[in-house]
Amino acid sequence: MSCHGLFSKLFEKHGRTKENAVPRDNEIFHCGEFHCSECPLASRCSMKSEGNPPNSTLMDKKLKRVLLMGNPNVGKSAIFSRLTGLHAISSNYPGTTVGFLEGSVVINGETYKLIDVPGAYTLDPTNEAEEVALRILNEGADIVIIILDATALERNLYLALQVLEKGYPSVIVLNMIDEARHKGIQIDLKALERELGVPVVSTVALTGEGIAALKAALPKARPSFLLPMTKDERWRFIGDIVMRVQMVTHRHHTFRDRLEDISVHPLSGMFLSLLVIIASFYAVRIIGEGLINYLLDPFFNSIWGPFLNVISNVLGGSGFIHDILIGHLIDGSINWEQSFGILSTGIYVEFAMVFPYIISFYLVLSLLEDIGYLPRLAVLFDALLHKIGLHGFAIVPTLLGLGCNVPGILATRVLESERERFIAATLISVAVPCAGLQAMIFGVIGSLGLVYIAIVYASLLGVWLILGYMLNKTLSGQSPELIVEIPPYRLPSLRNLGFKLWFRISGFLLEATPLVLLGILIANLLYSSSVLPFLSNILSPLVKLLGLPPQAMGAILLGFLRKDVAVGLLLPLGLTPRQLVVATVVLAMTFPCIATFVVLFKELGLKRLIQSVLIMISISLITGIALNYLLSYLAI
C-alpha cells in the first residue's frame, strides 16, 4: 500500500480529515500495522523502528541543531542576529567558498545551535550556495526554521514545500508581515498552518516583532504530513494554498513605491545611483576625517606620543631595539608617518589613518544594504559589467573592495561561475584601491592638488574597464544573466547595523593589525640591510622606463606587505609630482597586501593565482610606462 493509502487509514483511525490532520502538541501516534518507515511522522510514532531517524537528529539531545532556511533577501540574517545577538561565528562550508553563520540561543533552559544556511530558491541546486544549503540540510536537523517573505508567498513556498517534504520538525516564519500589510496582502496564519501541518508565526525581523513568538514556537516544531511531490504537483499545490490563505486588496501607490520605480529606471536610476555613490563617499570621507581630527589625532598627540617619548628616552634615542619599536627620530622627535617604528608608524597607520575610513565605509555600505538599495545598484550596473564579463551583482564585491580588498574578494562568492570570480577578484586586486590605500593616496598626493588625485583614479578606472574587457574576450565561457530579487525599501534597524558593523570591523582588525606591524618590522629590517639596494640595482632599467629613481623600487616591493604603508615610503624620496603619481599608480596596481594574496590563493587556487599575478605585474608596468610618457608629453 502506498504512503497516501496509509495516511488515509491513519486519518480514519483517528477520526481525522486532511483539514484537521495536524497532530496536536505532544501527541503520540500508534500507526500499528500501517506504519511506514518513510512516513514524515515517523519521528513522532511510538512504534518507529529502533535506531536514529534517517533524516533528523534526536529531539532529546541537549544541544539541538536548528537550521534557518529560505530564499535570499527574506531576512534570515536579521532573524539570526535577533536570536543569537553578537554571539556568532562565520565559517566556510568545507571544500567550498560559501560562508555561513553559526550561533546559539538558550530558550527556557534549552540550548539551540543555530545555523544560518545560505539563501536558496530550490533544493535542486543551480549554484554553489544552493548545493551547500542542500548538503547542510542533508546532514540533519532537529528543527528547521523556514523563513518566507510575506510579500512573495507563492514564490517562497516552493523551497518551503521541498524542505517540509524531507520530514524534519519545522516552523514556518512569515517575515516582513508589515510590508505585506502595506501592500494590501493579508495572510491567514491559521489556514496556512492547517495547509502545511507545522506551526506558523509572523515576524518583522527589523523591529523584533514576533521574535518572542518564534522562540515560543521552537519547542512545538513538528514534521509536516506532506509527502514528496513532483515539480508540477508542487506548483499546483502552491496555487491552491495561496488561493485559500491569501487575500490581496487594492491600495494606492505611495511615495516609497514611486521611489522604488525611479531607482531602477535606466535614466533616473543611473542618475540617482551616481548621487548615492557620490554622497556615500562624501559621507565616508566626512566620518573618517571627523574620527581622525577629533578623536584619534588628539589621542596620539596627547597620550600615545608622550608615552613613546618616555620609552625612546629609556632606550637612549637610537639603536637596533629603538629603531624597531620607536623608529628613526625625525628632527629629534617621532614622526607618525616616517619614523617607521612598530609602536609609532605601525600603530598610527593602522588605527589613525586606515581604521577610521574602514569604520565609515562599512557603516555606509551596511546602511545601503539594509535600506535595500544594493540590489537596485546591481540591476543598474548589469549592462556595463556584462561588458567586462560580470553581472550586476559584481558591483557589491567591487564596493566592498573599496573598503578592503580582502572582504571584496571574499564577496565574489556571490558570483556563480569560476570565470566570473576570477575576473572580479583580479580586477579588485589590480584596480580597486582599498580604504587604507585611498587614505594614503589623499595624504601623499592631496597636497599637490585635486588634478593629480583625479589622474590616479582615472588611471585605475581606465585599467578596470580595459582589463575587464580584455579578460572577458580572452577567457572561455560566458557570464550568466542577472537573476536578483529586489526587496522593498525599508527603514534600517540600528541594532542590525551595529551587528554588521562590529562583525566586519572586528574581522578586519584581527586580520590587518598583525600584518601592518609585520610590514613595518620587515620594512625596518630591509632598509637596514642590503636587500633593497640589490633588488633596486637589478630592476634599475625598468625603473628608468617608469621615470622613477632606483630608491622608489624599494617602496613598490614593500607593497607586497602592505600597500598603504608602502605609499608612505614615497614621501621621503623627494619625487616630482609626475613621479609621485606614476609611482602611486604602479604601487596601487601591483602586489596587494599579503592578506589579499592569501585570500586569492584560497578563493582561486594556485594556478589561477599565478595567472592573476602575471596579469597584475604586466598591466601595472604597461600602465606605469604609458602614464609616464603621457604626463611627460603633457608637461605635467
Model confidence over 320-351: pLDDT tens digits? 888 888 888 888 888 887 677 888 877 887 78
Q: What is the predicted pLDDT for the residue at 238? A: 95
Q: Which residue has the higher pLDDT, 359 or 9?
A: 359
Q: What is the predicted pLDDT for the residue at 138? A: 93
Q: How much is the average pLDDT of 379-387?
A: 79
Q: How confident is the model at residue 401 (pLDDT cuts 50, 70, 90)?
A: confident
248 three-class SS? strand
State how far the Cα of 365 lies from the Cα of 381, in Å rounded to an integer. Answer: 17
Q: How much is the average pLDDT of 389-414?
A: 77
Q: How confident is the model at residue 52 (pLDDT cuts 50, 70, 90)?
A: very low
pLDDT of 625 over the 60 cut:
yes
Q: Which residue has the higher pLDDT, 395 or 622?
A: 622
Q: What is the mean pLDDT of the chain?
A: 79
Q: How much is the average pLDDT of 71-87?
A: 81
pLDDT of 92 over the 60 cut:
no
494's CB contacts (< 8 A; 6+ apart) are: none
Q: What is the predicted pLDDT for the residue at 565? A: 61
pTM of the model: 0.59
Q: What is the predicted pLDDT for the residue at 501? A: 83
- Nearest to residue 324, comparing CAs of 527, 557, 569? 527
Q: What is the predicted pLDDT for the residue at 49? A: 36
Segment holding 472, helix H or strand E: helix 450-474
Q: How confident is the model at residue 221 (pLDDT cuts 50, 70, 90)?
A: very high
pLDDT > 90: what percent of the chain? 28
Please give the distance of CA 333 from its chain centroid, rounded to a whole number: 42
Q: How many residues does the chain have?
A: 636
Q: How confident is the model at residue 32 (pLDDT cuts 50, 70, 90)?
A: very low
Q: How much is the average pLDDT of 185-190?
A: 93
pLDDT of 170 over the 70 cut:
yes
567's CB contacts (< 8 A; 6+ apart) are: 437, 440, 441, 443, 444, 555, 559, 584, 587, 588
204 three-class SS? strand
Q: 29 pairs with which residues across the strands?
A: 45
Q: How confident is the model at residue 14 (pLDDT cuts 50, 70, 90)?
A: very low
Q: Phi/psi of residue 82, each to 5°? A: -65, -40
Q: What is the predicted pLDDT for the residue at 8? A: 42
DSSP state of 124: S
Q: How confident is the model at residue 57 (pLDDT cuts 50, 70, 90)?
A: very low
pLDDT of 543 over the 60 cut:
yes
- Nearest to residue 264, comparing CAs of 411, 378, 414? 378
Q: What is the predicted pLDDT for the residue at 16? A: 44
pLDDT of 275 over the 70 cut:
yes
Contact 436, 357 (CB under 8 A): yes
Least confident of 106-110, 134-138, 160-164: 106-110
pLDDT of 211 over the 50 cut:
yes
Q: What is the predicted pLDDT for the residue at 223? A: 95
Q: What is the predicted pLDDT for the residue at 60? A: 45
DSSP state of 333: B
Per the listing, cell 500500500 goes with 1
Contact 622, 542 (CB under 8 A): no
Q: How much is the average pLDDT of 554-562?
A: 67
Q: What is the predicted pLDDT for the residue at 233? A: 93
- Nearest to residue 394, comparing CAs of 370, 422, 424? 424
Q: How much is the average pLDDT of 527-549?
A: 74
| Three cell numbers, residue 91 | 565559517
Over residues 563-602, the pLDDT tens digits come to: 656 666 677 777 888 888 888 888 888 867 666 776 787 7
| Three cell numbers, residue 582 | 606614476
Q: How much is the average pLDDT of 201-226?
A: 89
Q: How much is the average pLDDT of 455-482?
A: 85
Q: What is the predicted pLDDT for the residue at 193? A: 94
Q: Which residue has the higher pLDDT, 551 or 426?
A: 426
Q: Which residue has the higher pLDDT, 353 or 463?
A: 463
Please give the distance of CA 545 from its chain centroid, rounded to a whole number: 40
Q: What is the predicted pLDDT for the residue at 133? A: 92
Q: How confident is the model at residue 516 (pLDDT cuts 50, 70, 90)?
A: low
Q: 147 pairs with which residues across the strands?
A: 70, 173
Contact 387, 471 (CB under 8 A): no
Q: What is the predicted pLDDT for the residue at 570? A: 74
- Nearest to residue 101, comparing CAs of 66, 134, 148? 66
Radius of gyration of the chain measured on its C-alpha atoms: 29
Least confident of 429-438, 439-448, 456-465: 439-448
59's CB contacts (< 8 A; 6+ apart) are: 43, 142, 169
Alpha helices in 263-417 (DSSP H): 266-291, 297-299, 305-314, 320-325, 347-348, 355-371, 374-380, 382-386, 395-403, 405-410
pLDDT of 533 over the 80 cut:
no
Q: What is the predicted pLDDT for the residue at 38? A: 41
Q: How much is the average pLDDT of 57-67?
A: 67
pLDDT of 62 over the 70 cut:
no
- Nearest to residue 470, comparing CAs of 429, 433, 432, 426? 426
